[in-house]
Amino acid sequence: MQPQDATFFQPTQPFDILETRLPHWDQPGAFTFITFRLNDSLPKEAVKRWHHQRDALLRESGIDPARWLAAQGNRKLRNHTNSETTALLQHLPPRTASLLKWKLFLGWDCELNELHGSCCLRDSKASKIVADGFLKFDRDRYVVAAFAVLPNHVHILAAFETEGAMVSQGAAWRKCFAREINKLNNRTGHLWQPDQFDHLVRSPESFDRVRKYLIDNPFVANLHAGEYRLYVAADW
């Protein structure tokens, strides 16, 4: 896959929603903003704060939080036309639904920027494992536009060539990074939370907004040189 093959989400074209702990909207070739975090990055009080904020945003959009949570608990791959999550969002215009998902993410990421937990990715050797892994198959299996490796979470903006590759590649990254970082730190056990947040990019304007968010994130989290890694491809 090459940069010219990447595009933006087209709601009139086929796409899938994989419902695990979070809904994953997947369309081959479309840029996707992905975040995954360390297992200890959100203590109980931070999760509780985010849950309150999430429920308030859902109610403002006319969505019952209890029904939303029930939909997220479905772990089957379904066609988007009968997805429970889509059914809850169908009364919203597509851009409004996308904005709601982005607002939910912002509240979650704000808590991550408090840098709770072990923050083992602050170690330059650990962050290099992640950065090298992201670039290993760049312009082959996928195209990377930008990524940031922060002490307790990671953002990447990328497009994936084939159906399902966005979710499967995310799982493969986390598995590989966990093995190598655990080896580096002489430890075992879970390193990452088992799921990822992802947001399909709908337009050049949305791409620029997400890319800027990613680039600014280390500074928003008050990080200094050497505490994070940032990559931005020259193509965009």
- d(Cα 21, Cα 175) in Å, to the nearest integer? 17
> What token pair was written down for 12?
């009139």
Instruction: Pick left, alpha or beta for residue 84 (phi over 0 → left; psi -120 to 50 → alpha; otherwise beta).
Output: alpha
| Residues 71 and 19: beta-carbon distance below 8 Å | yes
- Structural domain count, the chain: 1
Q: What's the per-residue H, E or C state across 107-154?
A: HHHHHHCCCCCCCHHHCHHHHHHHHHHHHHCECCCEEEEEEEECCCEE
162-178 residue pLDDT tens: 877 888 898 899 999 99
Quick one: DSSP state of residue 33? E
Domain extent, residue 33, equals 3-232
- d(Cα 89, Cα 226) in Å, to the nearest integer? 41
- d(Cα 149, Cα 121) in Å, to the nearest integer? 7
pLDDT tens by residue, the chain, 236 residues: 898 888 876 666 555 545 444 445 667 788 999 998 999 998 888 888 878 888 888 888 788 778 767 765 554 444 333 345 556 666 666 677 777 777 877 877 888 899 999 999 999 999 999 999 999 999 999 999 999 999 999 999 999 988 778 888 988 999 999 999 999 999 998 999 877 788 888 889 989 999 999 999 999 999 999 999 999 999 87
Quick one: DSSP state of residue 194? S
